[in-house]
Each structure stands twice: as structure tokens, then as C-alpha cells.
A and B are shown apart, each in its own frame.
Chain A
Amino acid sequence: MPVQKILLYPHPILKKMCHPVAAIDRSITGLLQDLLDTMHAGPGSVGVAAPQIGVTLRVCVVDVSASRNGKENNHGLLQMINPEITKRQGAAIMREGCMSVPDYTGDVERATEITIRFMDGDGIHHEIEASGFEAVAIQHEMDHLDGMLFLDRIASLKTGLFRRKSYK
């Protein structure tokens, strides 16, 4: 499957609430593969959500196992259809960047431990507990499914939204 182009804000799809997947068919398995290929093509990317490639369905992929922040604590590749967070605990601030809002970062507060239910590409239901960076990545991708960007969650432009600029 081809690597898909990542939509950049202000593309309107990025602000849409995505629809649940009704049934797993070839189009959904194809979508999952597109998301995986696109994630692997993005330098340092640990997740991609369907709306980022123009599909308004509640599907995303996350894999933090190769990243410095997540390699010690992860579930490997997660292919999530209709994911739902059923429990959140703790809070921590991390500086997040997003492929759909390139060149900018923002300090975002997220739950440090979450429980997620989802269905994989084979239609099998899972419930897992995630923590640390993996939990942050999952929450970030799931925000995309609700039409939210990290810009919706930052409290202050002063704390790191913009890259430093030097006016010498």
C-alpha cells in the first residue's frame, strides 16, 4: 500500500469528528496498512490517525517501541479500530509535536496511565493498560479522531508553542 500524504492544518478534515467503523472489510484493512506505511515513512513518527490521511473513520495506529521515550514500556504495534479510553489516571506535561502541524511544538497535559478498549484489524477486541509515552501517543492519536489537535489543549503560547526565533 502506498504511503499517504499527511494533511496539514488548516485542512478541514482535521477538525471533523470521525465516524465509528461499522464492519471490518477490505477497505478497513487497506486503511490500516496505509496508516502503517505512512507512520513508518514519517521520520520519528510513532502514530498516525485516519483523518491525517483524509479518512474520517475512528482508526489509528501507534507504535512507540522504536522511540527513545517508549522503547522500555510498550505494547508494540497497536492497530486500533473504534478505540475508547475507559480509564485515565495521573497527569504529566510533555512537549508534543504533530505531523499535521509541522515545525511547532506545545506543552500538553495528558493522563499518565490509561485503559483502552479497541478492535484490531482481525475484529478481535482488546483491552490494554498503557502508561508513559505510549499512553501519551495513544491520547494524541485519539484526539485526532475527535477533530482535536494539540493546539486545542495547550494552555499558553508562551510555553513552547513556537519554535524559538532570534531577532539578532
Chain B
Amino acid sequence: MSECRKENLAHFAVTVISKDRPGIVADISEVLFRLGCNLEDSSCTMLGGDFAMILIISHEKPFTKARLGDEFKLLHERTGLTVSVRALSEAEICPVKEEGELCLISVYGSDQPGIVYRVTKELAERKINIADLNTKLIGTKEEPVYVLMLEAALPDGMSVDDTAAVLEKLKKELSVEISVRVITPVSL
């Protein structure tokens, strides 16, 4: 049993992506509430014209993925919402604590394929761990501008300046602006 969670809980990852309309969250959470599930963590946002939900839920054992599947099938028939469920193993549910300095990296420039890949590849090769990442397409139809913002934890021994230097060469290659700044959480 994992040391970081209560015993006797089954965990599931639930994902929903649907054309946006009022009531999606209520539809999904009503099912979970009726089944007695706990909504442990969630992220719900608009992606393009779709509403996207990722939920981590738990339920006291015994409880099966099939039980959730049956309920969401009925919901699909009633509302058209398609829900995907994955059972999480004990090893998957333990939160990983932040380590190293936190920094915020912002990248923006003319839209082109590969911005996310090139930036994150440089970070991955240096064991820089991404904690949060968002992208948006802004600007005009004629001149779209791609914006990427991510928050990352630097490995021990790597500074914000080192990280900026690593990304410096991408600025010219991709013709984008890149800035790296430290986020120092303060204890008060």
C-alpha cells in the first residue's frame, strides 16, 4: 500500500473532451457523486472550442472500473458525453514533491510546427522537470502568434541563468522570444 494515500481506496483517471456547452461539469460530477466517488484532483479548461476535463477520483474498495464504465455509458446515451476511465495503480497515485529551483519559461513568436517539441526536448535532456505547461494561439488569422508558458523544476546544480543559456540558441533557430525567470516560493 502506498504510504501517501489512505488505505482501501481505488483510484481512477477520468478524461472528458467535449464540444463546450453549459452543464458538462454538473453531468460528470453528478454521476461521481451518486456513486460515492471522491474528486481528489482536477483540471478543467477550454481547449479551442472544446471543454476538457481530467479528474483523479477515488472510491472505497471494492469498486471497479466497470462500474464507472456502466454509469458513464448511460450518461453517454443521455447526453452524448464520451468519458474515458483508467484505473490507477498504487505506484501511480503518490504525489512527487517539488525539488530544485522553480522557474517560469515563456516562449512566443510566429506560429510554426515544433516550438513545444524543441523547447521541451532541450529541457528533458537536462532533466528539467515540467510541472505545468500551457499554449495558446493568439495574434491574427494572417499572422498567428504562438505562446508557450511552462513552469519547471531545475535539477540540483542548475541555475535559472544556465537554463536561459540553454534556450538561447533556440531563439534564433525558431525566431521566437524566450524568457526564463525564477519563481521563489516564500514562506511566511
Q: Is A164 an interface residue (CB 8 A)?
A: yes
SS class, residues of chain B in contact with chain A: strand
Question: Which single residue of chain B is at the shortest CB-CB distance from A137?
Answer: B188
Cβ contact within 8 Å between B186 and A97: yes
Identify A165's interface contact among B45, B95, B102, B188, CB under 8 A: B95
Which residues of the partner chain A approach B92 to less than 8 Å between Cβ atoms?
Answer: 167-168
Which residues of the partner chain B approach A43 to less than 8 Å between Cβ atoms?
Answer: 187
Q: Other than the known A95-B102, A165-B96, what 8 A-B pairs have Cβ atoms closer than 8 Å?
A: A95-B185, A133-B186, A158-B132, A160-B183, A160-B185, A164-B96, A164-B153, A167-B88
CA distance A168 to B88 in the complex (A): 9
The 18 sampled A-B contact pairs (Cβ below 8 Å) are A46-B186, A46-B187, A69-B186, A97-B187, A97-B188, A136-B186, A136-B188, A141-B188, A160-B132, A160-B151, A162-B41, A163-B95, A164-B95, A165-B96, A166-B95, A167-B56, A167-B92, A167-B93
Which residues of the partner chain A approach B132 to less than 8 Å between Cβ atoms?
Answer: 158, 160, 164
CB of A97 to closest CB in B, whole Å:
5
Q: Is B91 an interface residue (CB 8 A)?
A: yes
Q: Is A105 an interface residue (CB 8 A)?
A: yes
Top 3 closest pairs, chain A to chain B, by CB:
A166-B96, A165-B95, A164-B131
Q: Is A45 an interface residue (CB 8 A)?
A: yes
CA distance A99 to B66 in the complex (A): 42
Interface residues of chain A, those whose CB is within 8 Å of chain B, are 42-47, 67-69, 94-99, 105, 133, 136-137, 140-141, 150, 158, 160, 162-168
Count of chain B residues near A, Cβ 8 A: 24
Which residues of the partner chain B approach A44 to less than 8 Å between Cβ atoms?
Answer: 187
Report which residue of A45, A141, A160 has the largest number of chain B beta carbons within 10 angstroms of its beta carbon.
A160
CB of A138 to closest CB in B, whole Å:
10
Which residues of the partner chain B approach A165 to less than 8 Å between Cβ atoms?
Answer: 41, 95-96
Cβ contact within 8 Å between A98 and B188: yes
Which residues of the partner chain B approach A94 to less than 8 Å between Cβ atoms?
Answer: 186
CA distance A106 to B84 in the complex (A): 31
Which residues of the partner chain A approach B97 to less than 8 Å between Cβ atoms?
Answer: 163-164
Interface residues of chain B, those whose CB is within 8 Å of chain A, are 13, 41, 43, 45, 56, 88, 91-93, 95-98, 102, 131-132, 151, 153, 183-188
Tell whether A99 pairs with B187 under 8 Å between CB atoms, given A160-B151, A167-B88, A168-B91.
yes
CB of A166 to closest CB in B, whole Å:
4
CA distance A67 to B43 in the complex (A): 34
CA distance A141 to B151 in the complex (A): 28
Which residues of the partner chain B approach A95 to less than 8 Å between Cβ atoms?
Answer: 102, 183-186
Which residues of the partner chain A approach B43 to less than 8 Å between Cβ atoms?
Answer: 158
CA distance A46 to B96 in the complex (A): 27
CA distance A8 to B79 in the complex (A): 42
CA distance A65 to B150 in the complex (A): 32
